[in-house]
Copies of this chain bind each other. A is one copy, B any other.
Amino acid sequence: MIKLYDEALSGNCHKVRMLLSFLGLEYESVPISVPDLEHKTPEYLAMNPLGKVPVLEDGGEIIRDSQAILYYLARKYGNGEWLPEGDAASGHVMEWLSFAANEMIHGCAMARALVLFNREGDRDAARALAEQCLDILNGHLEGRDWLVGTAPAVADIACYVYAGLVHQGGVDPLTYANVAAWLARVEALPGYVGMAALPAGDN
């Protein structure tokens, strides 16, 4: 069975949980405690030398990085969905996977992590980049339902999660009208699963 090395509050892990659910795939969630540094043990680093969650294990193959896992799962199990066909559309999906790996992480995810996990770092800089990310998404979504083509793709999942969670970092994505409509569109997809609720007192 597919194993997901998983951390409940990680948005990167949640990207993978979402696609596994959309694809109707059963999997075993192996909890990795970040506070206990279980992502830095020799055994974990042998799977992912970056020491980050998530990692996917499937039939002896180990895939790290949420974008790579989304791509792998869609290619292997997507039956032609989640990865639009054609050279240009494939290139556009890759644009958004890079955006999810870089700008969304250093903007939206970082703004959230600095508040939620009380990490050290520049909150203003992270929020400014988060706002720039939301601006770019909002502009691109003008007149579009999905980031690439006319159906939801791994590009949407990769960008959705931290766009949806950035309010926990003090930036409200719902003030960006096209982003707000797109977040709602993702959340209305059959099989959508939300993040686990935070402990009371957080949001």
Contact = CB atoms under 8 A, between A and B. Distances in A.
Contacts of A88: 61, 63, 72
B63 A92 contact: yes
Interface stretch (A35-43, A102-110, A162-170): A102-110
Contact of A140 (B49, B68, B75): B49
A97 interface: yes
- Could you tell me the dominant secondary structure of chain A's interface residues? helix
A68 B95 contact: yes
B99 A102 contact: no
A91 B106 contact: no
B105 A65 contact: no
A181 B4 CA distance: 34
Contact of A94 (B49, B72, B92): B72
A33 interface: no
Contact of A101 (B72, B90, B101, B140): B101
Interface string A54-92: 000000010111011101100110000000000110111
Contacts of A97: 67-68, 94, 97-98, 101
B101 A50 contact: no
A139 B49 contact: yes
A136 interface: yes
A49 B95 contact: no
B69 A91 contact: yes
Interface of A: 49-50, 61, 63-65, 67-69, 71-72, 75-76, 87-88, 90-92, 94-95, 97-99, 101-103, 105-106, 135-136, 139-140
Given A49-B139, A68-B97, A97-B97, 19 more contacts: A49-B135, A49-B140, A50-B99, A63-B88, A64-B95, A65-B98, A65-B99, A67-B97, A68-B91, A68-B95, A69-B91, A72-B91, A97-B98, A98-B98, A98-B101, A101-B101, A101-B102, A102-B102, A102-B105
